[in-house]
Chains A and B, each alone.
Chain A
Amino acid sequence: MNHHSESLPSKETASKANQQSEALPQKKKCSLQQRRSRAAWILVAPALVLLASVAGWPLLRTLFYSFTDAALDTPDLYNMVGFDNYLAWADGESIGVLADPLWWKAVLNTLWFTGVSVSFELFFGMLLALLMNQKFRGQGVVRAAILVPWAIPTIVTAKMWGWMFHDQYGVINDLLTRMGVIHSPLAWIAEPNLSMWAVVIADVWKTVPFMALMLLAALQMIPSDLYEAARVDGATAWQRFTRITIPLIMPAMIVALIFRVMDALRVFDLIYVLTSNSEATISISGYAREQLVSYQQMGSGSAASVLVFMMVAGIAACFLYLGRYNDEGKENK
């Protein structure tokens, strides 16, 4: 991005220079930049207006409803209740989303899911990217194969894995039994300790290709003479990996990680379909939607939604802060 913004002024001066050589009137030359920047706003306006109405406005209304006691079927009838949907005390008992143990369970589930699933993805994605960066016959086939999980809709992924994890007829239990890992079939979906792992496995399967492709694109931009020089200097494969590969793909890796973490924090459909949104695996998005739709409580549902938003935004802000710090370090060099 920096590179481009640097190239832009030069383009402007170049076009001005062109106009000068064409000997256009002085007034017109000065206003070119102004006219362009005014036109820019007109060009961007439709997109901004659309975004403001389908994203900005609903977001504000959600925030507003989080302070009311409206029900979903009668959103026009409401009383302002302040922060009661978030946390309040009534008759010596605390109520509200923040006092609900299930909310905290959902927070723990989501954070655990994000941490475990994204770590596995990074690990396997890196392995897969390194593999595809090698030259071998049939590369195209592997690349096509890894695009398959990415292309499959999440709902289908959930159903497919739900069937594979079936306690009696599923192929996972069958394979594990044949390999002698387990002696009796496991109830992957029903057992609370296992169901979270089932979700992680299905998610990792689906999203490793994305990570691998991102990392592969970065790997392919590393000039090969760096490796040759390192080899001449007697660096081992591990040293070449940690001293050349990792630092050079770090920016792309961070971006890929941000994408994946944001996605994992919003997880809803995979869990909703694979484990029927059971309490053992419920995510924060699942919790908010349940309050809103299943219990018809627009107030507390909106409050939970706002909390989800704040949590995701907070983590995103941390990433951006770290990213900026990283960029500054680069510029100082």
Chain B
Amino acid sequence: MKLTRRQRHLAHQTLIYAAAALASVICVFPFYNAILTSLRTGQELFLTNYLPTSFHWENYVNALMVNGIARSLLNSFLVATVTVGICLLVSITAAFALARIKFKGRKYILFTILCVSMFPQVAVLSGMFELVRFLGLYDSLGALILSYTTFSLPFTVWVLTTFMKSLPVELEEAAIVDGAGLWIIISRIFAPIMGPSLVTTGLLAFIGAWNEFMFALTFIISNEQRTVPVAIGMLQGASQFELPWGNIMAASVVVTLPIIIMVLIFQKRIVSGLTSGAVKG
């Protein structure tokens, strides 16, 4: 009896480790495969191999310099940073009011914000096109910053509101007793405590803006203004039948690596940021 229980335990453990290994391999393999491909050139590209066979860096040089991915990286970085900056600035006060003050219409505002975060991007595409043209922003990074606010702002307001709600009431009460006004409470008490949550929210919004494709594809025409997703989406070979897979994979690795590193560094915060809306909401 004792032996079978031990055996059962052993079988259970084996199963868990096997499943964990399988899940990890499936999750990481496509990226690993992209790295392998990015290091191959010429005929080697077309021999399927699961281990590194060569280390050529030409693809990276080509992608960054010849195909202009370096320029696109800078564009993406600029657009994402400015969008996140604006959204965080505007949403911290809004989140304070929505989480901490009981006022008429609070529920409706939260509901509206939730709705906006869910509506399909294509629904505003032609209206946004008109607005962008009217403001003279067509084919410039400003068009992207403007349009990315559509999906970043509802997100940052929502997540920051959730974070603010979880802070203890006593903090604010003490400040009110001491005679602090709302602005002091926000800037001196909540902003510092919110630091880590701001980083998390900002990072998530940054990733959203970094990855956006439809607006970037529609509002940007020239190569110099392209963001990275569009630049990669548009990488073409000399002919239709000769796609430069080595270059594409090199560019893909370059774009993904910074995000993966950031995500792994902030792992715990990212997970709590992702799930805060769902579990507490």
Binding site for B on A (CB under 8 A): 1, 4-5, 7-12, 14-15, 18-19, 22, 33, 36-37, 39-41, 43-44, 46-48, 50-51, 54-55, 57-65, 72, 75, 127-128, 131, 134, 136, 138-139, 141-161, 163-164, 166, 168-171, 174, 205, 209-210, 213-214, 217-218, 221, 252, 255-256, 259, 262, 265-266, 268-269, 272-273, 284-285, 288-289, 292-293, 298, 301-302, 305-306, 308-309, 312-313, 316
CB < 8 Å: which of B130, B157, B264 contacts A61?
A: B130
A63 to B112, CA, bound (A): 18
Going nearest first, the 5 A-B pairs with the smallest beta carbon separation are A58-B127, A61-B127, A37-B103, A309-B123, A47-B94
The answer on a CB contact under 8 Å between B94 and A155 is no
Could you tell me if B126 and A302 are in contact, using CB atoms closer than 8 angstroms? yes
A155 contact from B98, B232, B277, B278, Cβ within 8 A = B232
Q: Is the CB of A40 within 8 A of B255?
A: no
B143 to chain A, nearest CB (A): 11
Known: A51-B153, A61-B131. A148 touches B214 (CB 8 A): no
Indicate the size class of the contact surface on chain B. Answer: 35 or more
Q: How far is the CB of B191 from chain A (nearest CB, A)?
A: 13
A302 CB contacts on chain B under 8 angstroms = 126-127
Residue of B nearest to A73 (CB): B133
Among A142, A163, A166, contact of B23 (Cβ-Cβ < 8 Å): A142
CB distance from A231 to the nearest CB of B (A): 14
Instruction: Please tell me if B75 contacts chain A, counting CB pairs below 8 Å.
Output: no
* Chain B 202-215 per-residue mask, 1 if CB under 8 angstroms from chain A, else 0: 00000100110110
Query: What's the nearest-Cβ distance from chain A to residue B169, in Å?
Result: 5
**Known interface pairs A213-B274, A298-B126, A309-B123. Does A174 touch B30 (Cβ–Cβ under 8 Å)?**
no
Most central of A19, A163, A313 by chain B CB within 10 Å: A163
B16–A255 touching, CB < 8 Å? no
User: Which residues of B are at the interface with A, using a C-beta cutoff of 8 A?
Assistant: 13, 16-17, 19-20, 23-24, 26-28, 30-31, 33-34, 37, 45-48, 50, 90-91, 93-94, 96-106, 109, 112-113, 115-116, 118-131, 133, 146-147, 149-150, 153-154, 157, 165, 169, 172-173, 176-177, 182, 186, 207, 210-211, 213-214, 217-218, 228-230, 232-233, 245, 248-249, 252, 255-256, 259-260, 263-264, 267, 270-271, 274-275, 277-281
Q: Which residues of A contact B119 (CB under 8 A)?
A: 55, 59, 309, 312-313
Is B13 a contact of A136 with CB atoms below 8 Å? yes
Contact B249 A221 (CB under 8 A): no
Query: Which residues on the B side are within 8 Å of A153 (C-beta)?
Result: 210-211, 228-229, 255-256, 259
Query: Which residues of A have CB within 8 Å of B177?
Result: 15, 18-19, 22
Interface of chain A, main secondary structure: helix
A15 near B34 with CB under 8 A, answer no
Bound Cα distance A5, B102 (Å): 8
Instruction: Give A220's nearest chain B residue, CB to CB.
Output: B279
Contacts of B245 in A (CB 8 A): 163, 166, 169
> CA A28 – CA B229 in complex, angstroms?
56
Q: Among A139, A145, A298, which residue has the most Cβ atoms of chain B within 10 A?
A: A145
